[in-house]
Chains A and B, each alone.
Chain A
Amino acid sequence: MQRRWLLTVLAAGSVVAAACSTGGTGGGAPSASGSGGTSKGEIIIASDLPVSGADASDGIPTQNGVQFAIESTGSIKGFKLTWKGFDDTVNGAHDPQKGAQNVQQMLSDPKILGMVGPFNSNVAAAEIPVGNKGSLAMVSPSNTNNCLTQDTFGGKPCTDPNPKNIRPSGVNNYFRIAAPDSFQGPAMADYAYDTLKLTKVAVWSDNEIFGKGVADTFQAEFIKKGGQVVVRQDFDTKVTNDWKPFLTDAKSKGAQGVYAGATSGTKACIPNAQMAGIISGSYMTPDGGVNSQCIKDSGSNSADLYGTVAGANAELNPDAKATIDAFKAKFTKKDDIGSYTFMAYDCAKILIDAIGRAIDANGGNMPSRQQVVAALAKTSNLKLTTGTYTFDKNGDPTTPTMSIYHVQGTDWAFIKQFGVGGS
């Protein structure tokens, strides 16, 4: 009797543990029937985003954009168009290996002709080689690390990752529409120096591909402007809880603000709450912190919080108003919409456009993945909600946009946006 009771408890426990360790992939959603027939078969556009982890405050609003774009399109040149969502979260955080597995899984489904994502640059570095071998078209709304597409970053050659090494087939299959970090870090550095009038700042990073890269470019630009970076630290945020020694060090050296090269999943804004009583000054984060989680993590210390987003604000585009209204009618909660929702919507639209041209190129038949990648590379002057997109030879947008946000009350408020020219 006793043993059976014990077994029951253990079995229940292991079920709970198993449920938590598998991130679980979202199933495909039924598509709305759009105009045109759907007799020729089905084409699936997948997404791979962190929709259950600590990054879910970014991942879910971004996924909503993809889902909305595909379901509101419904069909394409006689094919039924559906969406299938994948989740790259393991144990509550975005995970490169999980992302690579997801892409492998996408390759095994011949109906999947492209994917939107991933969200995080380190996940992209693991996914691109897998997708590249299978010629899967990838479009990311938010990856910003330069070395994913370019040979040099901040004047140094890219080694980890290196664009050639992660593209074994030699043909590029990966495209993005966000402005690379060589713009994102400097954009905040310029704003800090010119507008916030800071001359001494402390910089920390989460030591990941994205966080460290953006912190490095912030630091370089801030020094170039004539400012001083008084302390620079890189933390293993999985084990670090205490930022007080770092903040004390910064204060003793006269820091007027802190820049965090991190995302909400790597504790970007938790030091901001700990800053109360040590430094009273601005706290700045890159796009991974421009979300509701960051405001929650900051507690009562969110008043002086600034962030960059590596894309444009769709709400400023009068042509996008109808799309945004339709989106808001379908996704009604405040947290349903995030800083990358319409960037992701545009990524899906870019893929739909490319698939359409690939179908035409293949005489109206189901195109191959290679044909979709070839059509995607030729994307030119495509006018969408967050900008007009053309890809350069690396797969980067030719005219990316940066925006700056800051917290007002309990929400992120848009300050300004500007084009940052070609890469």
Chain B
Amino acid sequence: MERPIAAPRATPIRLRGLVSSRVVNTIVLVLVAVVGVLVIARIWHRGPGYFAQILVYGVANGSIYALIAIGYTMVYGIIELINFAHGDVFTLGGFVALALLPMFGVKEGQPTSAVILPLLITLVVSMLFCGGVNVLIERIAYRPLRHAPRLAPLITAVGMSFTLEGIMFLWRGPFFLHFPDLLPRARIVLGPDTTIGAKELTVIGVAVVLTIVLSLFVERSKLGKAMRATAQDRDAAQLMGIDINTTIALTFFIGAALAGAGGVVFGLYFNSLSFDLGFSAGLFAFTAAVLGGIGNIYGAAIGGLLIGMVQSFSDGYFDSTWTQVVIFAVLILVLVFRPTGILGMRVPEK
């Protein structure tokens, strides 16, 4: 009975193998080309000024995703764990800032000179706080399970995500929270129909500075070297005298500090927060990390920027109902042709 069923099955599989690579790739390429032509026609029609304006918003939006994505990618790079709580640590950064700002007597409508110092302090405190919380999460929920089956820490990560959301829910309630609009509204004219505001500059500036500092740290400092060594081969690194626990905790700390900074600039830029913000923002940031090549810091930054820009262009030129479809279509396309992401994965060796 089994043979006649098995035999005809074998042929289509082989046939599919022969056909797939060429035909499917051609079809995909033709589709991409058609969509590409339509996109270019649409962009051409609206002129360069509008294009540049949407680009500015896309880069600002993407900078925030990049800040979150870097933390995902660092943690995945070092212990191959998707830290689901990361998106909520990002939200926590915004919540901490929202609580700190009134303590400095900061209100909407004050001159920038009066606001800048409290804002900087708030940014630093939020980053440190989020870093501390993430280290605590690692200590409680991930370290005891480091040698457990892979699914166990994944589930505790989901649990930690709900726990953080729950704490923020109890703290500030389910409402959308208005984040004070503190940055100056002045806009610099870049060209016809194109301006960049102090808000966009702040978001992009914070993201660029933090990414550069982080990459210098990872590539030049001794601790950075330890991180890279741990990411490559944990056991060998330990044999070389590297304190694995401290190194992993440091990775969690830095990743969360960047997410915390992301939360603060998110609040300053979009002027609104809610306790469950981390779910969707975290999902897109994780997508960005995969898109750029998981484990790769530059990849996460580029992936974040790309997703932010795709979102803005989809909203600005096409139908926003399709925005999520477009984002994930781009993800699928990139992964079909480059399964390791744009810049390639960097994950522990087996």
Q: Using a CB–CB distance below 8 Å, which chain A residues touch chain B?
A: 2-3, 6, 9-10, 13-14, 16-17, 19-21, 52-54, 56-57, 89, 91-93, 204, 207, 233-236, 238-246, 248-249, 252, 264, 267, 270, 273-274, 276-277, 293, 296-297, 299-300
Please tell me which one of the listed residues A13, A236, A239 contacts residue B163 in the complex, with CB atoms under 8 A apart: A13
Partner of B178, one of A89, A93, A299: A299
Could you list 30 A-B pairs, sorted by A, with CB under 8 Å?
A: A3-B144, A6-B140, A10-B156, A13-B160, A13-B162, A17-B162, A17-B166, A20-B166, A56-B174, A92-B274, A92-B275, A233-B319, A234-B321, A238-B280, A239-B283, A240-B315, A240-B323, A241-B270, A242-B315, A244-B312, A246-B320, A252-B50, A252-B53, A252-B193, A270-B272, A273-B178, A273-B272, A274-B270, A274-B271, A277-B185
Residues of B within 8 A of A17 (CB): 159, 162-163, 165-166
In angstroms, Cα B178 to Cα A242, docked, is 15
Asked if A273 and B271 sit within 8 Å, CB to CB, the answer is: yes
Given contacts A57-B175, A242-B311, 6 further A-B contacts (CB under 8 A): A9-B140, A92-B169, A93-B174, A235-B321, A239-B324, A242-B315
Task: With A239-B284, A248-B53, A252-B193 as known contacts, state yes or no: A276 contacts B159, CB within 8 Å.
Answer: no
Q: Which residues of A contact B280 (CB under 8 A)?
A: 238-239
- B44 at the A interface (CB under 8 A): no
Q: Among residues 166 to 200 in chain B, which have CB atoms less than 8 Å away from a CB atom of chain A?
A: 166-167, 169-170, 174-176, 178, 180-181, 185, 187, 193, 197
**Interface pairs A-B: 4 shortest CB-CB:** A92-B174, A245-B316, A13-B163, A17-B162
Which residues of A sit under 8 angstroms from B283, Cβ to Cβ? Answer: 239
A267's contact among B144, B176, B281, by CB below 8 Å, is which?
B176
Residue on B with the closest CB to A232?
B319
- A92-B275, A299-B181 as given contacts; A13 in contact with B176, CB under 8 Å: no
Complex Cα distance A267/B177, Å?
Answer: 11
- Smallest CB separation, A262 vs chain B (Å): 12
When A241-B270, A264-B176 are in contact, do A235 and B187 touch as well, CB less than 8 Å? no
- When chains A and B are docked, how far (Å) is the Cα of A373 from the Cα of B57? 54
Number of A-B residue pairs at CB separation under 8 A: 148
Once bound together, how far apart are the Cα atoms of A300 and B182, in whole Å? 11
Q: How many residues of B contact A (CB 8 A)?
A: 55
User: Complex: how many Å from CA A157 to CA B275?
Assistant: 39
Contacts of B197 in A (CB 8 A): 277
Q: How far is the CA of A92 from the CA of B169 in the complex (A)?
A: 9
Max count, chain B CB within 10 A of own CB: residue among A13, A54, A274, A296: A13
Q: Is the CB–CB distance between A54 and B175 below 8 Å?
A: yes
User: What is the chain A residue whose CB lies nearest that of B284?
Assistant: A239
Bits for B39-75, please: 1 = Cβ < 8 Å to A, else 0. 0000000100010011001100100000000000000
Max chain B Cβ within 10 angstroms of own Cβ: one of A20, A241, A267: A241
- Contacts known (A242-B270, A245-B316); A20 close to B169, Cβ less than 8 A: yes
Q: Are B174 and A53 closer than 8 Å at their CB atoms? A: yes
Say whether B339 faces chain A, with CB atoms less than 8 Å apart: no
Chain B residue numbers with a CB within 8 Å of A273 are: 178, 181, 271-272
**Chain B residues within an 8 Å CB radius of A10:** 140-141, 156, 159
When distances are taken between beta carbons in the complex, the residues of chain A under 8 Å from B36 are none
Across the two chains, which residue of chain B brings its CB closest to A10?
A: B159
**Distance between B159 CB and nearest chain A CB, rounded to angstroms:** 6
Contacting residues, chain B, for A276 (C-beta < 8 A): 181, 185
Q: Which of B58, B166, B319, B320 contacts A240 (CB 8 A)?
A: B320
Whether B276 lies near A248 (C-beta < 8 A) is: no
Q: Are A14 and B140 in contact (CB under 8 A)?
A: no
Nearest CB of B to A289, in Å: 12
Whole-angstrom CA separation of A293 from B280 in the bound complex: 22
CB <8 Å contact, A244 and B140: no
Residue B108 lies at the interface, judged by CB distance under 8 Å to chain A = yes
Task: Please name the residue on chain B nearest to A233 by beta carbon.
Answer: B320
**Interchain nearest-CB distance for B54 vs A (Å):** 5
- Chain B minimum-CB-distance residue to A243: B315
B170 pairs with A19, CB closer than 8 A: yes
Are A14 and B274 in contact (CB-based, < 8 A)?
Answer: no
Known: A54-B176, A297-B178. A244 touches B274 (CB 8 A): no
Within 8 A of A (CB), among B185-226: 185, 187, 193, 197
Chain A residues, CB < 8 A from B46: 252
Query: Which chain B residues border A204 with CB–CB below 8 Å?
Result: 320
Bound together, the chains give a CA A89 to CA B174 distance in angstroms of 10
The residue of chain B having its C-beta at the shortest distance from the C-beta of A50 within the complex is B174
Is A16 in contact with B175, judged by CB distance below 8 angstroms?
no
Q: Are A293 and B175 in contact (CB under 8 A)?
A: yes
In the bound assembly, the distance between CA atoms of A420 and B144 in angstroms comes to: 66
Residues on A with beta carbons closer than 8 Å to the beta carbon of B274: 54, 92
Once the chains bind, are B181 and A2 in contact (CB under 8 Å)? Answer: no
Interfacial chain B residues near A246, Cβ < 8 Å:
315-316, 320
Which one of B159, B166, B169, B315 lies within 8 Å of A245 (CB-CB)? B315
Tell me the smallest distance from the CB of A319 to a CB of chain B, in Å: 35
Inter-subunit contact A248/B54 (CB<8 Å): yes
- B109 contacts A by Cβ under 8 Å: yes
Closest to A242 in B: B61
CB under 8 Å from chain A, chain B span 295-350: 311-313, 315-317, 319-321, 323-324
Chain A, residue nearest B193 (CB) = A252
Which of chain A's residues have a CB closer than 8 A to the CB of B50? 248-249, 252
Complex contact A245–B54 (CB within 8 A): yes
If A9-B140, A92-B174, A299-B181 touch, whether A20 touches B165 (CB-CB below 8 Å) is yes
Given contacts A20-B165, A56-B174, contact A242 B321 (CB under 8 A): no
Residue among A236, A252, A276 with the most chain B CB within 10 A? A252
B166-A92 in contact (CB<8A): no
Smallest Cβ distance from B98 to chain A, in angstroms?
13
Whole-angstrom distance between the alpha carbons of A243 and B178 in the complex? 15
Report yes or no: B276 in contact with A92, Cβ–Cβ below 8 A.
yes
Shortest beta-carbon distance from B39 to chain A in Å = 15
Give the distance to chain B from A36, nearest Cβ to Cβ, in Å: 40
A248 proximity list for chain B (CB < 8 A): 50, 53-54, 57, 316
B317 / chain A contacts, CB cutoff of 8 Å: 249
Q: Which residue of chain B is the closest to A295 with respect to CB atoms?
A: B178
> When the two chains form their complex, are residues A234 and B324 in contact, meaning their CB atoms are under 8 A apart?
no
Nearest B residue to A9 via CB reads B140
CA separation between A17 and B141, bound complex, in Å?
15
- Please, which residues of chain A bring their CB within 8 A of the CB of B281? 241
Pick from B166, B167, B266, B321 the residue with the most CB of A within 10 Å: B166
Q: Please give, as numbers and ranges, the residues of chain A lying within 8 Å of B320 by CB-CB distance.
A: 204, 233-236, 240, 246
